[in-house]
Amino acid sequence: MERNNLWNANLYDGRHNFVSQFGQSLVELLAPKPGERILDLGCGTGDLAHQIYENGVDVVGVDSSVNMVEQAKNKYPDINFIVEDATSLEYDSEFDAVFSNATLHWVKPPIKALLGIYDSLKPGGRFVAEFGGKGNVQTISNGILFEIEAAGFEFKKAHFPWFYPSIAEYSTLMEEVGFRVTFAQHFDRPTTLDGDDGLRNWIQMFGNQLFTGVPEESRAQIITNVENHLKEILHKDGRWVADYKRIRVIGIKE
């Protein structure tokens, strides 16, 4: 919870709105129906919850970041937004669907979140999610770790903040908690980052935990070194392009 409280909601909305934009097609996969009650898990600043709400749905948006939830409440006061961690859900058969976009790769242990998601659903309810899959931003993260160690600092595996599973890994976890997996997809999604400083902004927004133990005065130079070494690989037609790989899944509670 403490780490997520440090998220910059304004930077997220201003420079990383591609997260919600890409999530719009996931809402189409969710296919919300009027009168349904849907949990948006990891709602961020509320844009997709609002899109679901406009279909005549009773939406509850939860996120572990106080900053994100406050921003969501300010933007969409008609929707119920709550500060809540994905591993601490305590709903009991309350929702027709649980929707989650670009969140579950942050959640450890994943099985704990899946148990809460399963319990939150009514019998026959659906779980529809997209998040980072195996190999997601591997070029960026490898570049950061290389430069941290080249600067003389130790990187510990515990500081890697993400869980990027394969389809087999995540489908198996879903089945362990009781889901019938009806859809699973892993795909590349090269993602353009906004501005000449797009990679730097991405690292500052999403990759801060990688720099645990690195003095603040050393971080800017390390990030500059990352930019210099990755420019030939990830800078295309004048823009930074992140090497995103995503997983989409649908599970039914039986």
User: From residue 49, how far is each of 32, 37, 122, 251 by CA, in Å?
Assistant: 11, 12, 19, 20
pLDDT at site 4: 46
Average pLDDT over residues 2-20: 49
Average pLDDT over residues 228-240: 96
Which CATH fold topology does 2-136+161-194+243-253 show?
Answer: Rossmann fold (3.40.50)
What is the per-residue pLDDT across 61-81, written as a single tens digit (0 to 9) for each? Answer: 999 999 999 999 999 999 999
pLDDT at site 183: 98
Coil vs helix vs strand at 207:
coil
Q: Are 115 and 231 in contact (CB under 8 A)?
A: no
Average pLDDT over residues 175-185: 98
User: From residue 32, how far is each of 17, 58, 154, 246, 252 by CA, in Å?
Assistant: 22, 10, 47, 22, 15
Q: How would residue 194 be classed by pLDDT, with cut points 50, 70 and 90? A: confident
For residues 227, 228, 233, 236, the Cα torsion angle rounded to the nearest 10 degrees is: 70
What is the per-residue pLDDT across 136-158, written as a single tens digit (0 to 9) for each? Answer: 999 999 999 999 999 999 999 99
Reported pTM? 0.90
Count of other CB atoms within 10 angstroms of residue 12: 20
Strand pairing report for 58-63 and 80-83: parallel
Q: Nearest to residue 81, comparing CAs of 97, 67, 91?
A: 67
What is the per-residue pLDDT across 12-29, written as a single tens digit (0 to 9) for each? Answer: 455 445 555 667 889 999
Burial class (CB in 10 A: 0-12, 13-18, 19+), 85: middle
Could you tell me the sign of the dihedral formed by the alpha carbons of 147, 152, 157, 159, in that order?
negative
Pick 13 or 212 by higher pLDDT. 212
| Least confident among 24-28, 31-35, 171-175, 248-252 | 24-28
- The Cα 19–Cα 1 span in angstroms is 21
Q: Cα Rg for the chain, rounded, in angstroms?
A: 18
Average pLDDT over residues 178-182: 98
Helix axes 138-150, 198-206, angle to 10 degrees: 80
pLDDT at site 10: 57
Asked if the model's pLDDT at residue 165 lies above 50, the reply is: yes
Find where tokens 């679901």 sit: 52
Written as one letter, the residue type at 73 is K
